[in-house]
Amino acid sequence: MGSVGDAISLLAKGEENDFQALGVQLLQAMTTYTQALKDENLPPPSLRVSPLPDARVKSSQGKAAKQAIIEISQLICAATMDPELNLLISSLQFHFCSCLKVAIDLRVHNFIPLDGAVALSQLAKLVGAEEALLVRIMRVLVNKHVFRQPQPGYYAHTRMSSVLLKPNTHDLLCHRLEEVFRSASREADSLAAGGYREPKRGLNYGFNLAFDTDKNFWNYISEDDPSRGQRFGRAMHAVNINSTDTVPRLYPFDSLVVDGGLIVDVGGGEGQVAKGILNYYPNSGLRCIVQDGLVKKSTAAGPAVEMQPHDFFDPQPVKGAAAYFFRHIFHDWPDNACVTILRQTAKAMDKHKSRILICDQVMQDDSPTEASILYDIDMMSLFGGKERTLGEWKRLVASADAGLDITNVAYNPECEAAILELRLQ
C-alpha cells in the first residue's frame, strides 16, 4: 500500500494513469482496513449507528490504512471537482456550522430513535419548529451525513449524530459553534491588525474582537460570562485527547520517586489528572501539589492532593520538585508567553532531580492530520496559542534560553499527543 505522500506525488505529475493509480491505492487501503476490522472482530464501515460506537481499529497497519482512505479520498475529490466550484463550496461551510448549531439548540438528536426513524411532521412538533424551516436545516445536515433519510420525509441517526447523545458532547459542540465560531469569524481582522505576525501575549485575538473585550478568554468566561465558563468546563470532559485515564500510561511517573516523588501539576484545575496518576500508581510514594489560579477544595473521590493558588507567569514557589507537570497548558499560549512559563519554572528546578513534563500535542512535521491543523487555528483564534511540531517545540525550548533541553518524548499511540520531558543541562 503506497503512502499518501506517494499519492500526492503521483497526482502532481498530472498524467491520466497517475490519477487512476489513486483509485488503485484507495482500493488497497480499503482492503487492508476492512481486513484489520475483521481481525479485531469490529463491524465494517457504515453510516448507520454502530452497536460498538467507540470501537476503533488498534493495529498500526489498520490505523495507517484508515488514514490513507480519508486522505486519498479527499485528494481524489479535490482533483475531480471543478476548482471554482470547489473553492466556492469550501467558503460556504460556515453555513453547515450554523445549521448544526440550530439542530443542537432544538435537540433534534434527542427526538430521533436510535433504532428507527421519525417523520418530519412529528419531529417538527417535538422540537417546536416550522416544518418548512426544519426541512432546510436538515437538508444541510443530511448532505453532510450527520443525519440520514431512509425514505423521503423521515429522518434517522447516523454514527455521527449518535455522538451527540454522549455526555457533554452537546456542551463541547456548543462551545465550538459559539465561542470558537465567532472568534474565527474575526481572526482575519485580528491578524491584519497585528501586521500578519505570529500572535503575542497581550494582543487582541479573534476572540477579543468577536466578544468586544480586552480580557483574555479565561478571565472573560470566569468574570464576565460564568455560564460560558461552566459550559466550557463540561465541554472539556468530552475531549478525548489525552484523557485523564490516558495520561498515567504515557510516562513512568513512579520513576519520579527516586527524585523525591513530588509532582507539581501546574494549571491542574481541580486535580483530576493528579488523582488519576496517584490512583494508577498506588502506594508508590508519589505526592502531588495542584496549582491553579482559582483553586477549589477538591471533594472528588480518590487520594488527597494539596491545592495551591498559583499563576504560572509568576515565580514558581515550589522548589526542587521531581516534576513540574503541564497538561494542555502551552498550546493555549503564544510563544512569548510560553517562554515566560519555562523561565519561571526553570528557576525553581533542581538540576539533578527536576524535570518539566509537558503533555500536549506534537504535530507531525510532514503530514499532520486535518484535526491537528484545525486545532492549531482553533488555539490561535481563541488564545493566540498554537499546536506545535517537534521542531517547533525544540525551537520554543531553545528560545527560552533557560538551560533546558528536551530529553525524551513519550508519544500517545492513539493520537498526536505526547509528553515531552525537559531537563536542565
Catalytic residue among 95, 237, 331, 352: 331
Q: Which set of grid coordinates corresponds to residue 214?
A: 480586552
Burial call 264-281: b when 16+ CB within 10 Å, e when fewer: bbbbbbbbbbbbbbbebb
Give the C-alpha separation, 82 to 353, whole Å: 60
User: What's the burial of 47, exposed, middle or buried (CB within 10 Å: 0-12/13-18/19+)?
Assistant: middle
DSSP 253: G
The two most distant CA atoms of the chain are separated, in Å, by: 70
Hey, what long-range contacts does 311-314 have (CB within 8 A, 24 or more apart)?
312/266, 312/267, 312/341, 312/344, 312/345, 313/337, 313/340, 313/341, 313/344, 314/344
Q: Which helix (H) or strand (E) holds 423?
A: strand 417-424
Active site (annotated) includes residue 95: no
For cell 465560531, the residue is 181
> What is the full DSSP assignment across 149-203?
-SSTTEEEE-HHHHGGGSTTHHHHHHHIIIIIHHHHHTHHHHHHHTTS----TTS
Phi and psi (nearest 5°) for 410?
Answer: -105, 110
Q: How far is CA 217 from the centre of its chain?
A: 17
Give the C-alpha separation, 35 to 328, whole Å: 36
Give the C-alpha separation, 186 to 345, whole Å: 34
Give the C-alpha separation, 70 to 335, whole Å: 32
3-class state of residue 215 by DSSP: coil
Tally of helices (H runs) and strands (E runs) in the chain: 19, 11
The catalytic residue positions are 331
